[in-house]
Structure 1
């Protein structure tokens, strides 16, 4: 399996990555919800509003989808943009 890193700058990007990763694993929202001990409607809401995820929820969500988090400095000040956080 090819490994690549995705850079997040805004919270909507996180929701898109979580949703795309779920779909790549061929999991429905209901299937993912069962693994996360959440309702399907809550999974849907959090995919659309990822800024409402707690850190613990995000870590568990990533574990279920086979993702990992990494934090680092941006390569240059020119790459910095205003965030919606």
Structure 2
């Protein structure tokens, strides 16, 4: 079964998705925090205030939950390749 992809337009949506993904994997805030090098209170704060996440924290958090980040034009199709064409 494939997990749904989420289109995020606000930081509060990001926090909700991260929290739901953590709970779906049956991880406590403390367990996640230890995996990504943060305190439990910081994880709690960031789930409610995702605008305070650094890019490095977001990438570590995503990795710990088995998520990936994809950026693209709004309303665009999912790219066929993950290789960057710089």
| Unmatched segments (≥5 aa) in structure 1 | 77-85
Q: How many residues align?
A: 76
In the TM superposition, 1:17-36 aligns within 5 A as: 17-36=17-36
| Unmatched segments (≥5 aa) in structure 2 | 77-86
Which stretch shows the higher mean deviation, 56-65 or 2-11?
2-11
CA distance in 2, matches of 1:65, 1:3: 12
Which runs of structure 1 show a deviation greater than 4 angstroms over 4 or more consecutive aligned residues? none
The residue aligned with 1:46 is: 46
- After TM superposition, give the deviation of residue 74 of structure 1 in Å: 1.4
CA distance in 2, matches of 1:61, 1:41: 15
CA distance in 2, matches of 1:2, 1:40: 29
SS in 2 for 1:43: helix
In the TM superposition, 1:4-83 aligns within 5 A as: 4-75=4-75
Cα RMSD (Å): 1.2
Choose between structure 1 and 2 for higher RCO, CA contacts under 8 A separated by at least 6 residues. 1
TM-score (norm 1): 0.84
The residue aligned with 1:82 is: none
